[in-house]
Chains A and B, each alone.
Chain A
Amino acid sequence: MAAGTDDGRTTPGTDVVPRAMPVPAPPPGVTDVLRRSAQLGLGAIGLAGRAAGSVFARVPDPGGDAPDAEPGIAALLPGAVLGIAIEAEKRASAVVDSMAAHSTGVVRAVGKPAIVQRALRPLEDRLWHWNELARREQHRNQAQASALIPVIVQQVTENVIAQLDFVRIVEQIPIDDIAASIDVEAIVQRIDLGGVIRESTASLTMETVDAVRSQGIGVDEWTARVVDRVLLRKRPRNTGFDKQ
């Protein structure tokens, strides 16, 4: 949009350039994201290692007839490596935090003079351009990811189900033991059978009575119509109450 005369010409120096909206910042800072990602990653590695150990323990090793070696100092290595990684992650996070805190003040002080701001203007424009590009592209990327995730989950679930032997699983359920542990008498005692029978009987009786009464109303109306016709009445009977 350009401000100008009616013939479409624009006046120099009056162009209004709309500014793009910045991408909303994520709730946690970048360093927080990195730190939590690292922590989660290390946790996931630990869980994966433990799960792999459990799985391998259940699968027989064809060549593993030899007796297991005595656990020595080598057994501590995986844990130690993990500890080093955690320590490194903590220190890296501290360094990043420190740098971010100091750089903010320095950038603010350096960027204050007008000449610096003017010099940085092309850079800022470029940053805005990239920001707008990221905003547009990120929408599309997120939509694609949202569409893809259910497909992946479904595919994985179907593959897992296909691997399961349901007959074997059901056979392993101790149905007889479960049935034996159920106290049928206690359950029956907790159910008010008399009340259920009473309620259903009363309901049935009431429906029958209602049907008879409904027939009575029909016969009443029919009788009134016949008598009114014999008496040459045009208007129907007023069976309501008069407002007083």
Chain B
Amino acid sequence: MKEIRSERSREAQGQRAGFVSQAIGAGLDAAAIFALDFAALAVFGFLRFLLTDKSYAFPQPGPFLNFVILFVIGVALLWTAWSGSGRAPGMAVLGLRVVGRDGRRLSSRRAFWRAVLGVLTLGLGVLWVLVSKKNKSLYDIVCGSAVVYDWRASLPTGLPDSRQNQ
């Protein structure tokens, strides 16, 4: 694994990320969700064209159905990412990782509720990082999580064991 050259960046590893990084990460994740939604609709339209007599047309679901599709895709994507590696696609680009309050891997239950809350609030809970003394977003406060700088694939070490995140 290549070493991080910048000393300031090395020291920031394992610390809670600031507003701009979290906001850009959330924006990139939202873009990934929209891209998956678009791909899902395109595949659906293609399959419909193959299996029926109808000519090809891009599906145009109504607002409610579209929201449900986006919700399901968003929750599935963020839940699996945060409960696994801790990195959703946008966060992976910026070298961020979602961890538990104690710095260890976020539990599946907390990751699920964080994903639900994140999609329902359209990621706007990140704004709380601006005024938080500990760089905590609304999701971190509610779900007991934290977003940290972690450019390389390793969780912060040396932290005490805790059941708080189980």
* B93 proximity list for chain A (CB < 8 A): 209
In the complex, B166 has a CB within 8 A of chain A:
no
Interface size class of A (residues with CB under 8 A): 20 to 34
Count the A-B residue pairs with Cβ separation under 8 angstroms: how many? 78
In the complex, A137 has a CB within 8 A of chain B:
no
B13 to A, closest residue via Cβ: A217
Assess whether A210 is in contact with B4, with CB atoms less than 8 Å apart. yes
* A207 proximity list for chain B (CB < 8 A): 2, 5
Other A-B pairs beyond A217-B9, A217-B18, 10, CB < 8 Å = A209-B93, A213-B9, A219-B20, A224-B18, A227-B131, A233-B133, A239-B15, A239-B135, A241-B156, A244-B102
In the complex, A203 has a CB within 8 A of chain B:
yes
Assess whether B6 is in contact with A210, with CB atoms less than 8 Å apart. yes
Q: Mark B25-37, 1 if CB is under 8 A from A, else 0.
A: 0000000000000
Assess whether A214 is in contact with B9, with CB atoms less than 8 Å apart. yes
User: Which A residues fall within an 8 A CB radius of B?
Assistant: 203, 206-207, 209-210, 213-214, 216-221, 223-224, 227, 231, 233, 237-241, 243-244
* A213 proximity list for chain B (CB < 8 A): 9, 21, 94-95, 149, 151
Assess whether B94 is in contact with A206, with CB atoms less than 8 Å apart. no
In the complex, B19 has a CB within 8 A of chain A:
yes
Give the distance to chain A from B130, nearest Cβ to Cβ, in Å. Answer: 5
A-B contact pairs, 11 of them (CB 8 A): A206-B2, A207-B2, A213-B151, A220-B19, A223-B20, A224-B135, A233-B133, A237-B132, A237-B133, A238-B134, A239-B135
Most buried by B among A206, A227, A241: A241
* B151 proximity list for chain A (CB < 8 A): 210, 213
Q: Mark B125-166, 1 if CB is under 8 A from A, else 0.
A: 000001111110000000000100101000010011010100
A221 to B, closest residue via Cβ: B18
Q: Mark B85-121, 1 if CB is under 8 A from A, else 0.
A: 0000000011100000111000000000000000000
A214-B6, A244-B160 known; A227+B135 contact, CB < 8 A: no
A235 to B, closest residue via Cβ: B133
* A240 proximity list for chain B (CB < 8 A): 14-16
Most buried by A among B4, B16, B20, B24: B20
* B95 proximity list for chain A (CB < 8 A): 209, 213
In the complex, B78 has a CB within 8 A of chain A:
no
* A224 proximity list for chain B (CB < 8 A): 18-19, 135
Assess whether A227 is in contact with B94, with CB atoms less than 8 Å apart. no
